[in-house]
């Protein structure tokens, strides 16, 4: 697979890069190992100072890097700027809080005495070089939410980014170097996916994190499992968006549109399956469909654009197959559903109704601006439909009934339940899923501890 920037708005190849050879890859692995030996001894104050400088530089670069992201993978430039700002925020969050999140833990005095110790504690120590295999859909954010906590914990990072966002990948390496991190603290590896297995099996690499497809996650987990290495996987999602009768329908429909088409619909935590109580189904479906129809599709570099092209030609073809399969099996197309003419990998905002379990789109993730509508007779059926998916990343529920809130929190199979609002990631809250959406957590204190050696320190009496 070529390592190239191909503008999805017109299919034009803008830049092409040669993959790193074995000699350069070996140099970088050696550098990561050597750098870790000294970087792990640095303190939180020094690491935080460097990370804050990286955040400052990113804010200065916000306009330029936003345009790079948009030309590489097609997200509307306003959203690209917001992504850069979010990354700076997360870096500051970890720079300011990492020391507290990784502070020594003191067991209860009675437990220390019972163990026969004079004193004891739990200390978090870094593991070493961590390989991050990252996706193209949020080319800055996905990396920063790994890199910020990993660097603050004293680890060093090796980034294998998606092959269609090489400029963003190289920018990230340069950003950390300009901030003052030594060269081996964060390195971008311009390599194809075929080289990942060998790196995972290298003894110098101590752990791995992947955000991406289920097949990629299985491959990374298998290789890491053979080498007995820690992994964190954030894979696909087909998040439910449940609307109950007590919901504010106007607001729920407006948020539903944004929740479905954020990042051109190419987000693992985008709402994809809209499960609506029968009492309000027709009213919600009308509002939601009109909102999807009204979206402005166009050049992602234009400020007023709300939906740009899909990131790749293959991605659009895959989405079309899901829609066509549903249509052939009896689904009603309430809007969209037809590829527009012209250049670029555009696909219109689309709403499908009457989706059944036999349709592929019911079981597979639709990575693009396509929504499926389901009618639920009551809360029990809404939960059944929500959980009838191999994925369990996050979920959205619209209700003002506290009894229903408790039921959904108890019964929905997902890593998050967001009430009366859209699923979003924030550095303060853990992020991750269950079932085939992966395992482990990113962000918050849970995320920074994923790649730490949780060490018991015990002193005899």
**pLDDT digits 0-9 by tens, 295-349:** 999 999 999 999 999 999 999 999 999 999 999 999 999 999 999 999 999 999 9
3-state secondary structure of 372: strand
The pLDDT value given to residue 325 = 98
Q: Is 11 left (phi over 0), alpha (psi -120 to 50) or beta?
A: left
The percent of residues in the chain predicted with pLDDT above 70, rounded, is 100
Among residues 222, 217, 223, 177, which one has the least CA distance to residue 198? 223
Question: Which among 185, 268, 335, 452 is annotated as catalytic?
Answer: 268
The pLDDT value given to residue 291 = 98
Place of tokens 């050879």: 21
Q: What is the DSSP secondary-structure string of 259-270? A: HHHGGGG--TTS
Q: What is the DSSP secondary-structure string of 289-314? A: HHHHHT--BS-TTSTT-SB---S-HH
pLDDT greater than 70 at residue 1? no
Spatial separation of the C-alpha atoms in residues 235 and 222, rounded to whole Å: 15
3-state secondary structure of 68: helix
- Output the pTM of the full model: 0.97
298: Cα separation from own chain's centroid: 25
Q: How many CA atoms lie within 13 A of 53 on its CB side?
A: 14
pLDDT greater than 70 at residue 115? yes
Place of tokens 């990374």: 220
- Position 420 confidence tier, pLDDT thresholds 50, 70, 90: very high
* 268 counts as catalytic: yes
For 290, residues 6+ apart whose C-beta sits below 8 A from its C-beta are: none
For 109, residues 6+ apart whose C-beta sits below 8 A from its C-beta are: none
pLDDT greater than 70 at residue 106? yes
Spatial separation of the C-alpha atoms in residues 337 and 94, rounded to whole Å: 43
Spatial separation of the C-alpha atoms in residues 53 and 391, rounded to whole Å: 38
Q: What's phi and psi for 7, nearest 5 deg?
A: -70, 115
Query: Residue 328 has which token pair?
Result: 């052939």
Instruction: Quote the DSSP letter at residue 352.
Output: E
The pLDDT value given to residue 2 = 79
Spatial separation of the C-alpha atoms in residues 419 and 130, rounded to whole Å: 35
Spatial separation of the C-alpha atoms in residues 425 and 398, rounded to whole Å: 18
pLDDT 10s digits, 185-208: 999 999 999 999 999 999 999 999
Spatial separation of the C-alpha atoms in residues 147 and 157, rounded to whole Å: 7
Question: Which among 173, 234, 364, 404 is annotated as catalytic?
Answer: 234
- Position 371 confidence tier, pLDDT thresholds 50, 70, 90: very high
Instruction: Give me the numbers of helices (H) and strands (E) for the chain, helices first please.
Output: 16, 19
3-state secondary structure of 421: coil
For 456, residues 6+ apart whose C-beta sits below 8 A from its C-beta are: 120, 122
CA gyration radius for the chain? 23
For 70, residues 6+ apart whose C-beta sits below 8 A from its C-beta are: 76, 77, 80, 300, 301, 308
The percent of residues in the chain predicted with pLDDT above 90, rounded, is 99
Averaged pLDDT, 125-138 = 98
Spatial separation of the C-alpha atoms in residues 358 and 56, rounded to whole Å: 51
Spatial separation of the C-alpha atoms in residues 70 and 86, rounded to whole Å: 16
pLDDT 10s digits, 29-84: 999 999 999 999 999 999 999 999 999 999 999 999 999 999 999 999 999 999 99
Spatial separation of the C-alpha atoms in residues 92 and 114, rounded to whole Å: 41
Instruction: Quote the DSSP letter at residue 195.
Output: G
């Amino acid at each position: 697979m070529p390592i190239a920037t191909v503008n999805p708005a017109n299919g034009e190849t803008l830049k092409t890069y040669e993959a790193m050879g074995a000699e350069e890859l070996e140099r970088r692995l050696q550098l990561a190992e050597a750098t870790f030996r000294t970087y792990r001894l640095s303190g939180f104050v020094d690491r935080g100072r460097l990370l804050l400088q990286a955040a400052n530089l990113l804010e200065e670069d916000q306009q330029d890097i936003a345009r790079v992201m948009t030309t590489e993978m097609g997200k509307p430039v306003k959203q690209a700027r917001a992504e850069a700002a979010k990354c700076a925020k997360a870096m500051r969050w970890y720079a300011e809080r990492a020391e507290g999140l990784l502070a020594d833990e003191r067991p209860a005095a009675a437990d220390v005495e019972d163990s026969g110790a004079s004193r004891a504690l739990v200390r978090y120590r870094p593991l070493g070089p961590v390989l991050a295999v990252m996706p193209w859909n949020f080319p800055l954010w996905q990396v920063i939410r790994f890199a910020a906590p990993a660097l603050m914990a004293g680890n060093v990072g090796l980034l294998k980014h998606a092959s269609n966002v090489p400029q963003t990948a190289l920018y990230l390496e340069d950003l950390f170097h300009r901030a003052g991190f030594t060269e081996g603290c964060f390195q971008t590896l311009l390599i194809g996916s075929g080289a990942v297995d060998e790196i995972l099996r290298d003894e110098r690499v101590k752990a791995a994190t992947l955000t991406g497809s289920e097949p990629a996650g299985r491959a990374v987990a298998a290789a890491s499992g053979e080498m007995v290495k820690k992994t964190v996987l954030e894979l696909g999602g087909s998040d439910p968006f449940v609307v109950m009768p007590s919901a504010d329908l106007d607001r729920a429909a407006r948020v539903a549109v944004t929740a479905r088409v954020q990042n051109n619909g190419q987000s693992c935590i985008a709402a994809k399956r809209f499960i609506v109580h029968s009492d309000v189904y027709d009213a919600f479906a009308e509002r939601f469909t009109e909102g999807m129809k009204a979206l402005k599709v166009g050049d992602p570099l234009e400020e007023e654009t709300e939906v740009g092209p899909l990131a790749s030609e293959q991605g659009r073809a895959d989405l079309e197959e899901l829609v066509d399969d549903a249509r052939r099996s009896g689904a009603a197309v309430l809007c969209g559903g037809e590829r527009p003419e012209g250049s670029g990998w555009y696909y219109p905002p689309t709403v499908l109704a009457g989706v059944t379990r036999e349709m592929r789109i019911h079981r597979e993730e639709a990575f693009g601006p396509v929504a499926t509508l389901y009618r639920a007779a009551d809360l029990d059926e809404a939960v059944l439909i929500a959980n009838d998916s191999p994925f369990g990343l996050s979920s959205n529920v619209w209700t003002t009934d506290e009894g229903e809130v408790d039921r959904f929190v108890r019964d929905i199979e997902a890593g998050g339940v967001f009430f009366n609002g859209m699923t979003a990631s924030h550095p303060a809250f853990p992020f991750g899923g269950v079932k085939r959406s992966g395992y482990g957590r990113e962000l918050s204190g849970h995320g920074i501890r994923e790649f730490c050696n949780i060490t018991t320190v015990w002193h005899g009496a």
